[in-house]
Amino acid sequence: MGRLVQICLVLSVALAASAQKAKPNVLFVMADDMGWDDWSSHGSRQVLTPNLDSLAGSGVLLHRYYTHALCSPARSAVLTGRYSHTIGMQGRPLLHGEARGIPTTERLLPQYLKELGYRTQLVGKWHVGHAYRNQLPINRGFENHYGARTGFMDYYEYNSQEAWASGPVSGLSLFRDYKPDFEAEGYITDLYNEEAKHIIRSHNTSEPLFLMVTHHAPHNGNEDASLQAPPEEVRAQRHVELHPRRIFAAMVKKLDDSVGDMVATLKEQGMLENTIIVFVADNGAPTVGNGANSGSNYPLRGVKGSPWEGGIRVDALVWAGPEVAEGNDWRGNIFQGKMHASDWLPTLLEAIGEKPPAGIDGIPQWKHILENQPTRQEIFEIDDFTGYSSITLGRHKLIVGTVNAAYNLHRGGDLRGIIGQPPNYQQAVLNSKAYAAITAAGVPIDVEHLEENKEKATVTCGEGVAKECIPTADKWCLYDIIDDPCEYRDLSDSLPGLAEVLRFRLAQEEERVVPRTDKNDPIGSERAMPKNFNYTWETFMDLEPYTA
């Protein structure tokens, strides 16, 4: 009898311990239009990101992380676990007067987490639908949202100006839930940072927190003031040769500082040890074209809005506290497996001990990342609206269709100029808030190892152009992106059989495309006019115009 009592006691203690183990917090940070060469973990000596590098150096740098080529599609993939072309969100980002958005039939990541007991908060840019109230974040799983509904805005005035046929149209885009924020003051990156820190400090730690922070930085603002940063921050980047690039570097610096502040606040509140942190860029930088911001994807080919590597292969890392993932063997790794934006939903569910849903495109990769075992083979980028498609299968990539001619080139090499001596990298890391917080949490960071990882993560492309290719509907371009990551050498003529196989598989995927449901007609646009709603970008399909 005594033996039975002992067994029961052991089991009850084990069950109690299991029940008491809190689900990890999740901090998901997204940068906007930040390029491959805009992160010092990829080798840049010009743009330093010591807080992000501290996370990558003590977590995992996702070296082959892919996304969609444009903003709204990329955000849709993260939130739904689906390729954007399967839910009608592919192609050009949402315009301010569109009624389109992520279908309300789709369950979003915050909805899954909320049902699992998470407090869910969004700070920053939304840009996946705001014409109807049921498209807003607080009706899609987030308890609160402070930020912009539209794709861009002035960093100090918070108005978003869009060019319409009738002329420029401008309105306030900064909202707290349903209410426009007319009282806000300051630089928008700082506002978002303070809001995020307030959420962390006021959080009841008996419940898990999902905090998504989608910064505008370093996206351009409105056309009349496209690059904006505090003057003292711009002066601190005087080692950057070209002045627009100098402002851009200051915008990235403010973003990186915000990440450090959030990490430090998590440590201050005793939450960091049980937190997963994700950082990603939404798409490649627009070095040229709409919204050009002096960002650089060098040496990768192409820019935002293209299926080239420079448009879809972007900065990403994942970090976990010691209570989430045991041991240090995985820390500081460079994960060479492919990962896609649609993988985050199932990956985060797997990371918190839950079963991912069936029937989505995303693949759970948490265990694969920690064990450094690649699993994903295919990546699709399909934009029937613009007219291009690509498939990456294994080491080969095929591009079909028409890409904007300016987007086909290798850009950014002329932006790398340095005047004098840039700041000391190792000292910048040692002085960063993220470094202090992470090491205080018992996670080691070897600064020498960070330097080694920078070299390993630097993409080199070789000399010259062996065989140029410009894709069309009839001309396919084929690359070995392991040996030729910068897509210089077209293999379609030498490997025609492989090109046919990839084109066949791509055609199969194209059959899954759900057409866009654009409603950007003149009536819809007129109804969305900010002047109808006290000069704000309101939920125009649900509300009647305001009257004096």
pLDDT confidence bin for 455, thresholds 50/70/90? very high
Domains with residue ranges and CATH for the chain: 23-377 (3.40.720.10)
- Count of residues making up the chain: 548
For residue 216, indicate whether it is catalytic.
no
Q: Is 461 a catalytic residue?
A: no
Work out whether strand 144-148 and strand 388-393 pair parallel, antiparallel, or are unpaired: unpaired
Percent residues over pLDDT 90 in the chain: 87
User: CA 448 from chain center: how many Å?
Assistant: 28
**Number of other CB atoms surrounding residue 416 within 10 Å:** 18
* 124-171 per-position pLDDT tens digit: 999 999 999 999 999 999 999 999 999 999 999 999 999 888 889 999
Position with higher pLDDT, 2 vs 476: 476
DSSP string, 374-441: --B-EEEEEETTTTEEEEEETTEEEEEE---GGGGSB--GGG--B-S-PPPHHHHHHTSHHHHHHHHT
Average pLDDT over residues 534-539: 97
Q: Looking at residue 20, what is its pLDDT? A: 54
pLDDT at 547: 60
Do 102 and 75 form a contact (C-beta atoms < 8 A)?
no
Residue 224: the pLDDT is 75
Lowest mean pLDDT among 26-30, 245-249, 408-412: 408-412
Comparing C-alpha atoms, which of 334, 287, 331 is closest to residue 37?
Answer: 287
What pLDDT does residue 2 have?
A: 53
Give the relative orientation of helices 344-351 and 71-80 as an angle to the nearest 10 degrees: 30
Instruction: State yes or no: pLDDT of 463 exceeds 70.
Output: no
pLDDT value of residue 145: 99
- Has residue 385 got a pLDDT over 80? yes
Across 231-258, average pLDDT: 98
517 — pLDDT class (breaks 50, 70, 90): confident
| DSSP secondary structure code for residue 107 in this structure | P
For residue 426, the one-letter residue type is Q
| Residue from 42, 71, 145, 340 carrying the catalytic annotation | 71
pLDDT at 379: 99
Query: In the predicted model, what is the mean pLDDT of residues 358-387?
Result: 97
pLDDT score recorded for residue 1: 45
| Structure confidence at residue 96 (pLDDT) | 93
Q: What is the pLDDT of residue 124?
A: 99
Q: Tell me the average pLDDT across 119-124.
A: 99
Per the structure block, which two tokens stand in for 303?
């820019």
- Under DSSP, the state recorded for 31 is E
Q: What is the pLDDT, as a whole number, of residue 467?
A: 76
List the catalytic residue out of 127, 145, 216, 340: 127
Mean pLDDT on 404-428: 95
- The pLDDT tens digits for 7-49 are 444 444 444 444 457 999 999 999 999 999 999 999 999 999 9
State the pLDDT confidence band at 465, using cuts at 50, 70 and 90.
Answer: low
